[in-house]
Structure 1
Amino acid sequence: MTSTCPTPRHTPRDAAGRSEPPKPRLIATDLDGTLLRDDKTVSARTVAALAAAEEAGIEVFFVTGRPARWMDVVAEHTARHGVAICANGAGVYDLHRERLLAAYPLRVEDARAVVETLRTAVPGACFAIERTGSFQYEPEYDALWAEPDSMVGPAEELLAARPAEPVLKLLAKHASADPDVFLATARNAAGDHAEFTRSSPSALLEISGRGVSKATTLARCCADRGIGADEVVAFGDMPNDLEMLGWAGTSYAVANAHPDVLAATTHHTAANEEDGVAQAIEEILAR
C-alpha cells in the first residue's frame, strides 16, 4: 500500500547557501485534538487560515481516523476540492459529492484472526466494525455514535454479514486497560494480520489492513498530484498520526499531543484549544 512521491527537480537555498524546504503545496491535518477544538467545532480563526492557504494555492487535506459519516463538521471548509482521507487511510472520500473515491480495506479473514487473538490476549476486549456503508458493534461495545439501524451482535457473526461491504476499520475497546499497553499487546499478538493504532485517550484501538495508514494513502494522493513529500506540511496529535508526520517534509505537533508525537515532530505549535494549526498556517503564509 505504500507509495513514493516524485522528488522535486531542485532544492532551493537561502542567501547563505543552506537548503530550504520548497514552498508547501499541501497541508495535511488531523481533526480531533488537532484542528478541532475540544467541543468538536472549527474556530473562525481556523476557517480563515484554511481559506487563506487555499487562496495562496496550497491544497488542504483532512486526514483523520473518523469515518466519512462524521465529516459534516469540516466538509464545507475544503472549498477547492473537498477530498478527505478517512478511517486512518482506509478510505478516500469526496466530501462535496458524498461518495467513496478509493478504499483500502481490512480483509475479513484478518479481522477474524484479530478478534480471536485479542479475545485471548486481552480478556474483556469487545469489537465494532466500520464498513464502507454501515457500522456494526457487539452488545458490550459502548457505541455512543451508532446509527439507529446499526447491526448488533458477536463480532464473528457481524464479519460474516454484508460481505459486499468492505471493512474499512475494526475497533477494539477495553473498559480498564492502559491504552498504550493495550496497543502494544495487540501489536505483539496480532501484528501479522493488521495495522494497530489509536487516537482516543481511552483504551480504544483502530485496526486497519496491513500496510494501510494515513501516510500511505496521503502519499498516493500526493503522487497523483505530482506533490513531493517535502512539499507537504502535516499536523497531528496522536499515535495514529505518527506515520503521516514522519512521511511529510514538515511536521507539527500541537501542544496537547501525545508524548510520542511531540518527540517525533520537527515543529510544535499551540494546543488545539488555542488554534495551533491556524497559528502555524498563518506563520507559513507570512513567510
Structure 2
Amino acid sequence: MRPVTEMPDEVKRQLIAVFADIDDTLTTDGRLPAASYRALEALHEAGLHVVPITGRPAGWCDMIARFWPVSGVVGENGALYFSYDAEKREMRRAFFATPDELERDRARLQAVKARILSEVPGSAVSADQNYREADLAIDFCEDVPALSGEEVRHIKAIFEAEGAVAKVSSIHVNGWFGAYDKLTMTRRFAREVLGVDLDAQRERIVFCGDSPNDAPMFGFFPHACGVANVTAFAGEMEAEPAYVASSKGAEGFVEIADAILSARTAEIAA
C-alpha cells in the first residue's frame, strides 16, 4: 500500500466514479462528519458518479439513495442496489435474490443466529437488523463491548459451517446465503444504472474502503484506496488497496477526495 499522494495526477483526472464503503471510511466513531459529506457533494458536483458500497441495511440504503448526493447505493454487502431518479420521483430497487429466495434464506438465518448467540457470549444481533432484507448482521463492537479477534473468527466460522457466506467489517460479521458480494452487485449496478462496463472501466474508478469485507473491491480496482485504519488488517485480507491515506476514517476519505479534486481542478485551471 503506497501513500495516496503517490497516485498519479493523470489517473485522478480520468476518473469517472468514486465508490466508497460507509462505516469507518466515510464515518469516524460511528458519525458522518460534515467534512465527509461535503467531500461527497464536491465529488458529485465535479461530475463524478458517487456510490456508497456498504454492508448497511436496505432501510438505510433507501434513505441514502434518496437524500445523499449520490448516483445510488449498493447495500447489504451486495444483496441489493437502490437508485433514486429525482426527475421521475422514482426509486429503482434491484435484489440479487427473488422474493421467495429471500423468505427462505431469512428462515435459514434464524437457525444460524440462534447458534451464534449461544456459542459466542457477548455477541448480539445488530441494532439495524430489522431494516435488512437479505443478511444477518452480528455486532461485535458497535453497540456491545468489543469481542476478541478469536471470538469474531468463531462467529465467521459458524456462518460458514452452516453453509453461509460470511464477511467481517469493522463492526459486524455479516452472513448470507447466495453467491454474491460487494463487487458482484456493483458490476450490475454500474451496467444497469450508470451504463458503465465495470470490467472495461475499472482503471477509471476509485474504490475507498477500510476492512476485510472490502477485499473483493480492493482486488478488482487497480487504484483502490484505503483509509489509514485499513493498515490494521495488513496481511490478513485477500487483497489490499493500492493506496492508503495518512488519516483514519472520515478524515482519510476527505484526504482521498481532496487529492482527486485538486488534480481535476488543476487541469481545468491549466
Which of 232, 252, 276 is the aligned partner of 2:205? 232
1:196-216 deviation digits (Å, cap 9, x = unpaired): 112244xx4211332211111
Q: Secondary structure at the match of 1:241?
A: helix
Which of 87, 108, 126 is the aligned partner of 2:76? 87
- State the AA in 2 paired with 1:25: I
Q: Answer with 1 or 2: which has the greater Rg.
A: 1
> In structure 2, do the counterparts of structure 1 residues 113 and 35 end up closer, same or farther at CA, with 3 Å as the change threshold?
same
Counterpart contact for 1:38–1:272, Cα < 8 Å: no
Q: Does residue 101 of structure 1 match 2:88? A: no
- State the AA in 1 paired with 2:168: R
> In structure 2, do the counterparts of structure 1 residues 43 and 270 end up closer, same or farther at CA, with 3 Å as the change threshold?
farther
Q: Residues 112-123 of structure 1: matches in 2 within 5 Å?
A: 112=107, 116=111, 123=118
Counterpart contact for 1:21–1:230, Cα < 8 Å: no
> In structure 2, do the counterparts of structure 1 residues 236 and 141 end up closer, same or farther at CA, with 3 Å as the change threshold?
same
Q: TM-score, normalised by structure 2?
A: 0.69
1:103-135 deviation digits (Å, cap 9, x = unpaired): 113655555556556766884359xxxxxxxxx
- State the AA in 1 paired with 2:225: Y
Counterpart contact for 2:202–2:222, Cα < 8 Å: yes
Q: TM-score, normalised by structure 1?
A: 0.66
Partners of 2:169 and 2:67 in 1: CA distance:
24
Q: Which residue of 2 aligns with 1:24?
A: 15
Q: Which residue of 2 aligns with 1:171?
A: 137
Counterpart contact for 2:24–2:30, Cα < 8 Å: no
Q: Which residue of 2 aligns with 1:210?
A: 178
Which of 144, 164, 169 is the aligned partner of 1:199? 169
> In structure 2, do the counterparts of structure 1 residues 108 and 145 end up closer, same or farther at CA, with 3 Å as the change threshold?
closer
Q: CA deviation at 1:76?
A: 3.2
> In structure 2, do the counterparts of structure 1 residues 209 and 231 end up closer, same or farther at CA, with 3 Å as the change threshold?
farther
Q: Residues 263-282 of structure 1: matches in 2 within 5 Å?
A: 264-273=240-249, 275-282=251-258
**Unaligned segments of structure 1, at least 5 residues:** 1-13, 127-139, 151-165
Q: Does residue 186 of structure 1 match 2:158? A: yes
Q: CA deviation at 1:52?
A: 2.7
Partners of 1:206 and 1:195 in 2: CA distance:
8
Identity of aligned residues (%): 21
1:30-81 deviation digits (Å, cap 9, x = unpaired): 111001222422323x3333233223321100111111323547853325x3
Q: CA deviation at 1:29?
A: 0.3
- Alignment length, in residue pairs? 233
Q: Does residue 69 of structure 1 match 2:59? A: yes
| More helix per residue | 2
Counterpart contact for 2:166–2:176, Cα < 8 Å: yes
> In structure 2, do the counterparts of structure 1 residues 20 and 245 end up closer, same or farther at CA, with 3 Å as the change threshold?
same
> In structure 2, do the counterparts of structure 1 residues 124 and 100 end up closer, same or farther at CA, with 3 Å as the change threshold?
farther
Partners of 1:172 and 1:48 in 2: CA distance:
31
**Unaligned segments of structure 2, at least 5 residues:** 1-7, 264-270
Q: Does residue 223 of structure 1 match 2:191? A: yes
CA RMSD in angstroms, aligned pairs only: 3.7
Q: Secondary structure at the match of 2:180?
A: coil
